[in-house]
Amino acid sequence: MKFWARVRYWLLLNSCRAAGALPTWVLYHFFQDLLYFAIYKMARYRLKVVRGNLRNSFPEKTPEQLHEIERRFYRHLSEVVVDTVDLVNISRRELEERIHFTNVDEVEAQMQGKDWIAALAHFGCWEYFGAYQLHTASQVIGVYRPLHEKAFDEYYKYMRSRFGLRPVAMHCLLRNIVQNKKNGCRQILGLIADQTPPEPEINHWFDFLHQPTAFFMGVEKLSLKFGMPVYVMSLSKVSRAHYEVSFHPIYDGVEPVQEFEITKRYAAELEKMIRRSPELWMWSHRRWKHKPVPAVPES
């Protein structure tokens, strides 16, 4: 990092450390409530995007129901911001209390001696996935796309690696996988797969939340290339900043499948989660900014 980027990183990290040292009730009640008011009521952060996404995804719901989801989403969004601050200070004991993996023993037994993929989403607090490193001898890898702002990029790498997770940039991932295999290092790839890919990379549309939707194909491509089983991480919120997590298998690493089938299964699992607790998904992202081009009829 250049000098001023290092300065910004130092200020960001230590500001978050200072804030994270506050009592939990201050962070998750007073501070979070202030954030909620600032983001939702004052700044109206991406409110048009949120309302459009909700309206198109749930045409069966009344305006009152959509408004309630909207309100609860912004409440959750403010909590995720607090989580991101708190994770630079949180202890191992506190982290294990925040996130309970309900079927970790079953997954570890099934995946013994195997590399596998945890297919994640911007649902709940996805940053808590790093806690899985506390339950496995395999190396947990958090795959990420580097941020343009180097200070924030370094901050997220530090926060995510505190308990042993290894952040790996997307452009370095293939080399990292191959090197780990050569060294006999078992690995678990954590891949967030619900973002919108760049338009040139879109080659298939999925029926998702009543809309044609594109997904990144990284999970499917890597699982087929390296024979990795795929589990979807499903979260249920218990209380503020507390979750239960279970892993649902969608691909065993050897089953012959049609192209796009693994991604289709991922999308189906994600839609179940969203319909169960819609406020926990990140509705402020512009996931439907690209639309399929209508076929031109033959003359």
Question: What is the pLDDT at residue 239?
Answer: 92
The residues facing 190 across adjacent strands are 118, 142
| Alpha-carbon dihedral angle through residues 153, 159, 160, 161, given to the nearest 10 degrees | 110
Instruction: Collect all residues with Cβ–Cβ distance below 8 Å to 66 and sequence separation of at least 6.
Output: 51, 54, 55, 58
CA distance 1 to 11: 14
Q: What is the pTM of this model?
A: 0.94
Question: Nearest CA to 278 among 14, 67, 4, 17?
Answer: 67
Instruction: Collect all residues with Cβ–Cβ distance below 8 Å to 262 and sequence separation of at least 6.
Output: 219, 220, 223, 224, 230, 250, 251
Question: What is the pLDDT at residue 163?
Answer: 95
- Helix (H, G, I), strand (E, B), or coil: what is residue 8? helix
The series of mean pLDDT values per 10 residues for the chain, 299 residues long, is 84 90 90 96 96 98 98 97 93 94 95 95 94 96 92 93 95 94 95 92 94 95 97 94 96 96 98 98 95 67
- Determine how many CB atoms are found less than 10 A away from the CB of residue 38: 12
**DSSP per-residue string spanning 71-125:** HHHHHHHHHHHHHHHHTTT--HHHHHHHEEETTHHHHHHHTTT--EEEEE-SBS-
Q: Which residue has the tokens 């809309």?
A: 211
- Helix (H, G, I), strand (E, B), or coil: what is residue 159? helix
Task: Say which amino acid occupies 87.
Answer: L
CA distance 166 to 26: 31
**DSSP per-residue string spanning 227-276:** T--EEEEEEEEEETTEEEEEEEEEE-SSS---TTHHHHHHHHHHHHHHHH
**Alpha helices (H) in 183-228, listed in sequence order:** 218-226
Question: What is the pLDDT at residue 1?
Answer: 72
166-169 vs 206-208, strand pairing mode: unpaired
CA distance 161 to 183: 21
CA distance 38 to 293: 38
Strand arrangement, sheet containing 230-239: 99-101, 242-251, 230-239, 116-120, 187-192, 139-144, 166-169
Question: What is the pLDDT at residue 298?
Answer: 57
Contacts 24+ apart (CB under 8 A), 43-51: 45/74, 45/77, 45/284, 46/284, 49/283, 49/284, 49/285, 49/286, 50/74, 50/283, 50/284
139-144 vs 99-101, strand pairing mode: unpaired
Write phi, then psi, for 250 (nearest 5 degrees). Answer: -125, -10
- Determine how many CB atoms are found less than 10 A away from the CB of residue 83: 22
